Amino acid sequence: MSEAAAALHGVAQRFGRKVVLRGVDLELRPGGIVGLVGANGSGKTTLFAILSGLLQPDAGERRLFGRAADEVDAPARARLAYVAHATQLYGALSARENLRLFADLRAAAGLSTRPADEVLRELGLSPEALGRPVATFSRGMAQRVALARALAARPELLLLDEPFTALDAAGRGLLSRVLLDERSRGAAVLLSSHDFDALVQICDRIVLLEGGALARSVEHRGDREDFRRRAAALWHDLPADPGDTLVDGPR
Amino acid sequence: MRLLRQALLLLRSELRQELRDFELLLTAGFFTVVLLAMFYLSFASLQAKAHLHALPGLMWLTVAFVGVLTLTRVFDREREADTLRALLAAPIDRLAIYLAKAAMALSVLMVCCAVLVPGLWLIFPAAQAFADQPGQTALLALLGCGGYVAIGTLFAAGLATGAGKNTLLFIILYPLTTPVLMYALVTTRALIDRDPGLPGHLMQMFVLDVILFAAACLLFETVLIGAPVRPHRRPPLRPSVHRDMSREPSR
């Protein structure tokens, strides 16, 4: 079996007196897409922050690409890409300039990146839009730029916090295809989403984060319909949250 | 070399954004002019001897106020779109972020000093010493602003990754920059008095700047990300109970 791209063992995190994660165990293997579901405030974003190295966990072990990662150093960060819930783009810069800045920074570290225009077009942005400031973009267009920046790095580990947010139906379909391509390429993907249909169509495993712990999971074993039924049961057990917006779910 | 290249790329991006709206320069420059006008209205009628005593304080009070405004705005750009986290997750030397931000803040402060010092000279005849010793005055401004920015950038960055506590910067920064400002006050007084010990004072300021800069470089990553994981730093929390629903019958 191939080595996990990322693994967490007993990872715990608290902010002040609030315990956000308690003893999380998770493995992300190359060529697999794992869906992360949970109510708002269940700790999904904290989990992404720990995996991407933006947060040091209070306890537990974090392993990246087969070695312990007490700190997520630059060589490890070169192999992963993180798309946060916010698009994290410079509004005054164009889509092309945003991507080129990060490409140039990678190039300065001796790392290659796919051409900005190529990736942006792949994600459905028109050539005229590439030179416009990102501040003039709709949320959906900005989300595509953020995804393009991540994909341009050809990451081995792709961390996507609610990537379907603000994308229209065509954009969701496009992103699903792109993620399946990434899986075929051998990338390990972790994505959180409230879009049930999108998750069951592309994920190999769906895990439920509940009370700061990975409570349950369902795995795809060849039959997509069977996977959908079992995932629906998991989805049905999601704790109700007034602020939680589930779309296309089977409830 | 890689660090410098990445810092220059980030600084170039900062400048590119600044040249599109001149937000930082206009805000800081306008504030400097407003302070000069207030100083004129308050102190111009005093005797020239009183000006001699007041000048160092007026100069560095302006730098302290404009400095904190500049540092806040430099990181507000990152805070608005959460772009600082994108940089922290990128495979770059994180110190490059500090260097670029510090260079940007220092550039803005030096532009403000280019308005402030001639302004003080126009308002207060006692400031003739600035015009008589332009090289030493420029060096004094550079060293004073450099020390202020070295420590200020560190804490402004730390607050930028937090949950919007800009007001904290004022509370934290002024006590911490007091040594730099005190040294700058004493050196400015020496310059105005044409003290032969001025080079010694400037050298002391240089040494202080180097110490502050080195300390900030050492602490930057820890302030932004936190200390590396130390296993079992806290007592273990209740472990996660993971139930694999893949082995359960479909509902």
Phi, psi angles (nearest 5°) of residue B3:
-60, -45
Return the structure tokens found at B42: 């308050």
Per-residue pLDDT tens over the stretch B5-44: 999 999 999 999 999 989 999 999 999 999 999 999 998 8
Q: Over 60: is that where the pLDDT of B248 sits?
A: no
Instruction: Write a three-state SS string for chain A.
Output: CCCCCEEEEEEEEEECCEEEEEEEEEEECCCEEEEEECCCCCCHHHHHHHHHCCCCCCEEEEEECCEECCCCCHHHHCCEEEECCCCCCCCCCEHHHHHHHHHHHHHHCCCCCCCHHHHHHHCCCCCCHHHCEHHHCCHHHHHHHHHHHHHHCCCCEEEEECCCCCCCHHHHHHHHHHHHHHHHHCCEEEEECCEHHHHHHHCCEEEEEECCEEEEEEECCCCHHHHHHHHHHHHHCCCCCCCCCCECCCC
**CB contact, 8 Å: B247 with chain A?**
no
Give the pTM: 0.86
CA–CA min distance B209, chain A (Å): 28
Q: Within an 8 Å CB–CB cutoff, is residue B233 touching chain A?
A: yes
pLDDT at B232: 46
Whether residues A86 and B81 touch (CB distance < 8 A) is answered with yes
Could you give the C-alpha distances from A120 to A97, A116, B59, in angstroms and in order?
Answer: 12, 6, 49
Q: In this predicted structure, what is the pLDDT of residue B242? A: 53
Average pLDDT of every residue of chain B: 87
Query: At B82, is the secondary structure helix, strand, or coil?
Result: coil
Residue B53 forms part of a structural domain: yes
Contacts of B232 in chain A (CB under 8 A): 59
Instruction: Out of A19-33, A114-128, B201-215, pick the least confident.
Output: A114-128
Q: Which of B9, B20, B89 sits opposite A77 (nearest CB)?
A: B89
Q: Is residue B54 part of a domain?
A: yes
Please state the domain count of chain B.
Answer: 1
- DSSP-assigned beta bridge partners for residue A82: A159
Average pLDDT for residues A95-118, to the nearest whole number? 94
**A192-211 residues touching B, CB cutoff 8 A:** none
B125 touches chain A (CB under 8 A): no
Rounded CA-CA distance A133/A119 in Å is 17
- Compute the distance between CA of residue B90 and CA of residue A107 in angstroms, rounded to an integer: 12
Q: Is residue B92 part of a domain?
A: yes
Which of B21-30, B36-45, B176-185, B237-246 shows the lowest per-residue confidence on average (mean pLDDT)?
B237-246
Q: Is B243 helix (H, G, I), strand (E, B) or coil?
A: strand
Predicted pLDDT at B230: 52
Length of chain A: 251
Question: Which residues are registered as beta bridge partners of A133?
Answer: A94
Strand order, beta sheet including B243-244: A80-83, A157-161, A188-192, A32-37, A205-210, A213-219, B243-244
Task: Give the closest residue to A135 by CA, choosing from A92, A86, A96, A88.
Answer: A92
Instruction: Map out the domains of chain A as residue ranges.
Output: 1-79+157-251, 89-154
pLDDT value of residue A233: 83
Closest partner residue to A218 (CB to CB) among B226, B239, B245 is B245
Band (B225; pLDDT cuts 50, 70, 90): confident
Q: Do A233 and B91 touch (CB under 8 A)?
A: no
Rounded distance, CA A97 to CA B83, Å?
A: 14
CA A180 to chain centre: 13
* Mutation for B interface: A87, A105, A228, most B CBs within 10 A: A105
**Residues, chain B, total?**
251
Element holding B244 (H helix, E strand): strand B243-244
A70 pLDDT band, cuts 50/70/90, is confident
Search chain B and give the residue with CA nearest A53: B89
Nearest residue in chain A measured CA to CA from B237: A22
- Reduce the DSSP state of residue B196 to 3 states and report it: coil
CB contact under 8 A, A90 and B229: no
Chain A, 103-132: which have a CB under 8 Å from a chain B CB? 104-106, 108-111
Closest CA to A165 of A2, A30, A44: A44
Q: SS3 breakdown of chain B: % helix, strand, coil, rounded to 5?
A: 80, 0, 20
**CA–CA distance, A191 with A93 (Å, rounded to integer):** 27
Q: What is the pLDDT of residue B245?
A: 53
* Residue among A145, A122, A124, A121 at smallest CA distance from A133: A145
Closest among B211, B100, B71 to B147, alpha carbons compared = B211
Nearest to B32 by CA among B57, B73, B54, B65: B65
The whole-number average pLDDT for the span B47-65 is 91
- Chain A contacts of B97, Cβ < 8 Å? none
- Confidence at residue A97, expressed as pLDDT on a 0 to 100 scale: 95
Residue numbers of A between 228 and 247 with CB closer than 8 Å to B: 229-230, 232-234
Please state the ipTM of this predicted complex.
0.88
Tell me what the mean pLDDT of segment B114-137 comes to.
93
CB-closest option in A53, A108, A226 to B2:
A108
**Whole domain around residue B217: which residue ranges?**
2-227
A173: Cα within 13 Å, side-chain hemisphere: 3
- Indicate the residue of B92, B236, B244 with minimum beta-carbon distance to A10: B236
In this complex, is the C-beta atom of A172 within 8 Å of any C-beta atom belonging to chain B?
no
The residue written with tokens 């990338």 in the block is: A187
Residue A245's pLDDT is what?
37
Q: How many angstroms away from the CA of B248 is the closest CA of chain A?
A: 8
What does the block give as tokens for A14?
A: 């608290």
**What percent of chain A has pLDDT above 90?**
63
Q: Is the pLDDT of residue A108 over 50?
A: yes
The 10s digit of each residue's pLDDT in A173-228 is 999 999 999 999 999 999 999 888 889 999 999 999 988 888 888 998 888 888 89
Q: Is the Cβ pair B82, A84 closer than 8 Å?
A: yes
Nearest-angstrom CA–CA distance, A6 and A68: 10
* Residue of chain B nearest A94, judged by CA positions: B17
Based on its alpha-carbon atoms, the radius of gyration of chain A, rounded to whole angstroms, reads 18
Q: What is the C-alpha to C-alpha distance for residues B84 and A89, in angstroms, rounded to an integer?
A: 10
User: How many Å apart are CA B152 and CA B14, to the nearest integer?
Assistant: 18
Per DSSP, the residues of B135-192 read: HHHHHHHHHHHHHHHHHHHHHHHHHHTSSS-HHHHHHHHHHHHHHHHHHHHHHHHHHH
- What is the average pLDDT value for chain A, to the nearest integer? 89
pLDDT in tens, B143-156: 999 999 999 999 88
Q: How confident is the model at residue B70 (pLDDT cuts 50, 70, 90)?
A: very high
pLDDT reading at A250 higher than 70: no
Q: Which residues in chain B have their CB less than 8 angstroms from residue A62's CB?
A: 229
Q: Say yes or no: A170 contacts chain B, CB-CB below 8 A.
A: no
Residues of chain A positioned with their CB less than 8 A from the CB of B14 = none
Q: Could you give the count of Cα atoms lying within 13 Å of B82 in the half-sphere of its Cβ? A: 14
Which B positions 131-170 lie with beta carbon below 8 A of chain A? none
* Residue B19 at interface with chain A, using a CB cutoff of 8 Å: no
How do residues A143-182 score in pLDDT, each as one tens digit? 999 999 999 999 999 999 999 988 899 999 999 999 999 9
User: In the predicted model, is pLDDT for residue A104 greater than 70?
Assistant: yes
Could you give the CA distance from residue B64 to residue B106 in angstroms, rounded to a whole number?
12
Give the nearest chain A residue to B13 (CA atoms): A101
A145 touches chain B (CB under 8 A): no
* B219/B1: higher pLDDT: B219
User: With an 8 Å Cβ cutoff, are B92 and A105 in contact?
Assistant: yes
**What pLDDT shows up at residue B240?**
47
Q: What letter would DSSP give residue B235?
A: P
Reported as a single tens digit per residue, the pLDDT across A121-141 is 989 888 888 999 999 999 999
**Average pLDDT of span B119-136:** 92
List of chain A residues whose C-beta atoms are within 8 Å of the C-beta of residue B246: 217-219, 221, 230
**How far, in Å, CA of B140 to CA of B138, rounded?**
5
Kindly report the CATH number that applies to the domain delimited by A1-79+157-251.
Answer: 3.40.50.300
Rounded distance, CA B87 to CA B3, Å? Answer: 14
